[in-house]
């Protein structure tokens, strides 16, 4: 049974009126947003690690400048998203500490390694491609600050996807060795990219309520299918082999059929057992500890400044 307040809230959602920070909202709506926006923010920050790893080894000055800009953009996305989460009554420090001790998640994809330069192209093409497929509809999400952050993020994310496609295209059209590297990167990153959309709809515990609240606009499987449909022609254009023998155009459905990722691998990765989980969390913990003196210094400076003002 809904209370009057809950009915009024749902009515606003149904009429596409944005919910703003000072509006009344159900506790679970707030908690779900903190979880999703927080995880999203953490993904942007942890997502800098696999690509940042290649900045010093980019093959040309131009590629290096592009990658540097892209990785910096991800930091900016993290910051907008932390600010959006803070409007819900948590501090950035609180949710950062929840990431660092494993109480909050970040996207499964960043627990896979980037082994060589082709992987960097494939990350931009596939990982940013999947990210933007999920984020474009989130521009219409019901929570105002999240929706506005998404609008800005999507502009930059589409540049990221294009730069990745451009890098992988150079490899696919290059020497036989380069083409082989591009193929190998596609083969390894394909299924992890499909996992970014979350578990299949039947195992997605949050989807029904999140969609009723328009926190999510599409189901996980809807977006995964859209991603497959968009990406298969790109693979063909690049002259690469399909990474999954199950990919086949289905005339009746008007979509490509494909093989689902190995869901036991997915659940294992999000439990902390992927190839890079330990490294990623160690890197974030080290950055947090190394930065403590800077945070302390800023707080002390602010304290002295405030004391001078009141003296």
- With tokens 């494993």, the residue in question is 102
Q: Work out which of 13, 67, 98, 134 binds ligand FAQ, going by CB under 6 A.
A: 134
Q: Contact region for ligand FAQ (CB under 6 A) — 1-9, 37-45, 143-151, 285-293?
A: 37-45
Name the strand (E) or helix (H) holding 256: strand 255-257
Measured from the CB atom, is 162 or 180 closer to ligand FAQ?
162
231 touches ligand FAQ by CB under 6 A: no
Measured from the CB atom, is 134 or 231 closer to ligand FAQ?
134
CB neighbour list of residue 249: distance below 8 Å, 6 or more residues apart: 256, 257
Q: Contact region for ligand FAQ (CB under 6 A) — 34-42, 84-92, 273-281, 292-300?
A: 34-42
| Beta carbons of 230 and 129 less than 8 angstroms apart | yes
133 touches ligand FAQ by CB under 6 A: no
195 touches ligand FAQ by CB under 6 A: yes
Site for ligand FAQ in 197-216 (CB under 6 A): 197-199, 204-207, 210, 216
Measured from the CB atom, is 128 or 244 closer to ligand FAQ?
128
Cα distance between residue 278 and residue 273, in whole Å: 8
Long-range contact list for 48-55, CB < 8 A, 24+ apart?
A: 48/74, 48/75, 49/110, 49/279, 49/280, 49/283, 50/110, 50/112, 50/113, 50/114, 50/119, 50/123, 50/276, 51/114, 51/120, 51/123, 53/114, 54/114, 54/117, 54/120
244 touches ligand FAQ by CB under 6 A: no
Q: Contact region for ligand FAQ (CB under 6 A) — 6-14, 181-189, 193-201, 243-251?
A: 193-201
Sequence length of the chain is 311
Measured from the CB atom, is 63 or 216 closer to ligand FAQ?
216
Cα distance between residue 136 and residue 156, in whole Å: 12
Footprint on this chain of ligand FAQ (rule: CB under 6 A): 35-36, 39-40, 43-44, 47, 74, 105, 107-108, 127-128, 131, 134, 195-199, 204-207, 210, 216, 220, 270
């Amino acid at each position: 049974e809904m209370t009057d307040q809950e009915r009024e809230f749902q009515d606003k959602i149904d009429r596409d009126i944005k919910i703003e920070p000072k509006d009344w909202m159900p506790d679970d709506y707030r908690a779900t947003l903190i979880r999703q926006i927080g995880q999203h923010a953490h993904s942007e920050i942890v997502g800098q690690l696999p690509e940042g790893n290649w900045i010093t080894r980019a093959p040309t000055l131009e590629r290096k400048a592009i990658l540097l800009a892209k990785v910096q953009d991800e930091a900016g996305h993290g910051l907008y998203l932390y600010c959006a989460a803070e409007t819900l009554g948590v501090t950035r420090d609180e949710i950062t500490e929840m990431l660092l001790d494993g109480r909050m998640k970040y996207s499964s994809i960043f627990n896979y390694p980037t082994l060589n330069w082709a992987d960097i192209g494939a990350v931009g093409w596939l990982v940013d491609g999947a990210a933007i497929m999920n984020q474009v509809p989130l521009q219409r999400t019901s929570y105002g600050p999240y929706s506005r952050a998404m609008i800005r993020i999507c502009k930059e994310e589409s540049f990221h996807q294009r730069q990745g496609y451009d890098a992988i295209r150079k490899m696919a059209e290059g020497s036989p060795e380069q083409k082989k590297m591009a193929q190998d990167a596609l083969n390894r990153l394909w299924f992890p990219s499909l996992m970014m959309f979350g578990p299949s709809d039947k195992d997605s515990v949050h989807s029904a309520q999140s969609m009723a609240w328009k926190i999510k606009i599409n189901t996980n499987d809807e977006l995964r299918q859209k991603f497959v449909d968009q990406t298969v022609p790109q693979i063909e254009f690049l002259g690469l082999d399909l990474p999954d023998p199950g990919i086949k155009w289905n005339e009746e459905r008007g979509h490509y059929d494909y093989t689902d990722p190995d869901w036991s691998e997915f659940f294992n990765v999000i439990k902390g057992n992927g190839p890079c989980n330990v490294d990623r969390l160690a890197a974030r913990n080290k950055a947090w500890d190394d930065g403590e003196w800077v945070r302390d210094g800023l707080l002390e400076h602010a304290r002295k400044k405030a004391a001078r003002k009141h003296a």
